[in-house]
Amino acid sequence: MADISTTLAGVKLPNLLFNASGVCCQTEADLKLMVESESGALITKSATVEQRDGNPAPRYTPLPNGIGSINSMGLPNEGYEYYLEYAKKYDYNSEKPLFISLSGLSLDDNVKMCKAFVDAKLPCVLEINYSCPNVPGKPQMGYDMEAMEKSLSVLAPLIKKPFGIKLPPYFDIAHFDQAAAVFNKFDNLAFVTCINSVGNGLAIDFVTEQALIKPKDGFGGLGGLMVLNTALANVNAFHRRLPGKQIVGVGGVVSGKEAFLHVLAGASAVQIGTMLKEEGPGVFARIAKELSDIMVAKGYKTLEDFRGKVKTL
């Protein structure tokens, strides 16, 4: 085996792979499956102050030919106190770090939730979700640079220790520049997670001529293989623009090969969403082995040997 361990936000992970928030992480039963898997860490479902049922079903479906998935879950979660209690009980000696995703519906909500976690003085790491595409009437904050800066200027000093943010995909070089200029103002913003699903796609069944999911007239976030290249571009764009910060790559990882490409683009850890949902927690052992085999074949001993070293023409 090659060494696929990594460090994220100052915390050691035995391997770089974990779940993308939203998959296999809403309930204690889901989180138990993550603990028992060969992932290198685990992250909880994005939490709001109050419990939410989310949008009506069908609200997730894989798309034909392995191209990916569409979802409009609508932030179903058990409420932040549930995840706080879980974090208080968590066995931090397990060598599998715990990340907590928070997605307040307002800055006040994020302040309230962050304060509760800070006051609990736990070794878990916060990832603030600025990019849920699926709450009707709530635009993604990641596309509003001023709102993001205002939010970070309140949350970063409150959290004090290293934390991360989950970003939507950006599609314009000017937007990479603007977002990076904001993020570089906050020293304890330790990592950015790129990318959340590509928002507001539409999948239609050819035969029935019907949208595949029910919420929002069928509009939902796209994930899986079809977003790989958008994800790699976002990982690399922020790797180049955020010196001293880390990137968590997510999007399009179906095998060791895509995990390898995320690290080449600059990722320090890699999350898996659609493929975890489709294959189950056994995906981590498979992809870890495939990545290790690729590294051995290429003569790389550690992730540092090739992280961010994509060659340009």
Report in angstroms how near the CB of residue 112 gets to ligand RRO at its nearest. Answer: 18
Give me the residues that bind ligand RRO (CB under 6 A), please: 22, 46, 71-75, 103, 129, 131-134, 196-197, 221
Return the number of the residue (57 or 181) whose C-beta is nearest ligand RRO.
57
**Both structure tokens of 134:** 């699926």
Structure tokens at 20: 């993308």
User: Residue 129 CB, nearest distance to ligand RRO (Å)?
Assistant: 5
Query: Residue 107: exposed, middle, or buried by beta-carbon count in 10 A (0-12, 13-18, 19+)?
Result: middle
- In the structure encoding, which two tokens stand for residue 268, read together? 């320090």
Which are the contacts of 258, defined by CB distance < 8 A and separation ≥ 6? 225, 228, 252
Closer residue to ligand RRO (CB): 227 or 303: 227
Structure tokens at 184: 């570089």
**Given 24, 25, 124, 132, the catalytic residue:** 132
User: By C-beta, is 74 or 97 nearer to ligand RRO?
Assistant: 74
* Shortest Cβ 195–ligand RRO spacing (Å): 10
C-alpha–C-alpha distance, residues 79 and 70, integer Å: 24
Report in angstroms how near the CB of residue 90 gets to ligand RRO at its nearest. 22
For 83, phi then psi, to 5°, come to -75, -30
Query: From the CB of 75, what's the least distance to ligand RRO, in Å?
Result: 4
d(CA 48, CA 218): 24
Which of residues 73 and 276 has its CB atom nearest to ligand RRO in the complex? 73
Closest CA to 59 of 217, 273, 278, 213: 213
Q: Does the CA dihedral 268-166-60-124 come out positive or negative?
A: positive
* Residue for token pair 């958008």: 230
132 is catalytic: yes
* CB of 132 or CB of 190, closer to ligand RRO: 132
Would you name the residues annotated as active-site residues? Answer: 132
